[in-house]
Amino acid sequence: MKVYVDLLLFLNFAFDFILLQTVSIILKRKVPLRRLFLGALIGSLTIFTLFAPFTTLSLFILKVFLSFIIIISTFGFKDMKYTLTNLFYFYIVSIILGGVIYYLNVEFSYKNIGMVFYHKGLSINYIFILIASPVSLIIYRNQMKKLRLINSLHYNIDVYLNGKIIKLHSYLDTGNTLVDPISKKPIIITNSKKLINYIRDNPYYLVPYESVNTKGFIKCIKVDKVYIDKVGLITNVRIGITSKKLKNGVDALLNNLIMEERNENI
């Protein structure tokens, strides 16, 4: 079997450069192009470890050590947490890219009859790999950005009601600007079973609401106070209770007016 070392070096360099560039974008690291080239160059040279007579354990240790060298050469060393974070995402992106390439290779190189797979003599070429790799990582990066945005809109809240604390997992709904027309206080909407059971035996009042497709009334109650994680204590708020399923798998929708008022006071 012929092994083209120059081609392996080029592919390894290209993949490592794409990986390091993706990590720098995900973590918003400002890395000079020369540092990315240096890290990719060191990474490409690790291909020679495949030809060395290492045991499985010693090869694993060597790869971890070389990964540290690649990361430090590219991003520098500020502290161990910074370096480990860079290394973690380097491995995660590597696993994702490796999985995509493996999947594409199986799809193009194998044919199946039922559960029986056999090689059909067609392998994805290197040009296709180099095109598919950055596309896959760009999609991954964009999905990571969306995920971080969604996660930043999740808040844990504590509702203080008659000496009890009811814990809710909430989501900041920018479309929720519902206000009690009498007290002018913003309303947090919840479908918590504890609060649904509460209004069965305690007084509540109705507040009209209108959305794109529906309009009607929502049952509301007064609460002592609400503590919102990462925001603080809120007293000028009401709780609206619904039996409908809320989006994003949460049990409360934060009112956007609360966050706008908080930002104005900062």
Per-residue pLDDT of the chain (266 residues; tens, 9 = 90+): 454 556 667 777 888 888 888 888 878 788 888 998 998 888 888 776 666 676 777 777 878 888 899 999 999 888 888 889 889 988 888 887 777 666 666 666 655 544 444 455 545 555 556 666 677 667 777 777 776 766 778 889 999 998 889 999 998 877 788 898 888 899 999 999 989 998 888 889 999 988 767 788 999 999 989 999 878 888 889 999 988 888 767 889 988 888 776 655 54
For residues 93 and 19, is the Cβ–Cβ distance under 8 A?
yes
List the Cα angle 74/142/127 in 5-degree steps: 70
For residues 27 and 61, is the Cβ–Cβ distance under 8 A?
no
Write out the CATH class of domain 155-265: mainly beta
**What pLDDT was estimated at residue 5?**
59
**What pLDDT was estimated at residue 159?**
93
**190: its two tokens:** 């919840």
Contacts of 59 (CB under 8 A, 6+ apart): 49
Residue tagged 């009112």 (tokens): 255
Integer Cα distance of 64 and 66 in angstroms: 5
Domain with CATH 2.40.70.10 in the chain: 155-265
pTM value > 0.85? no
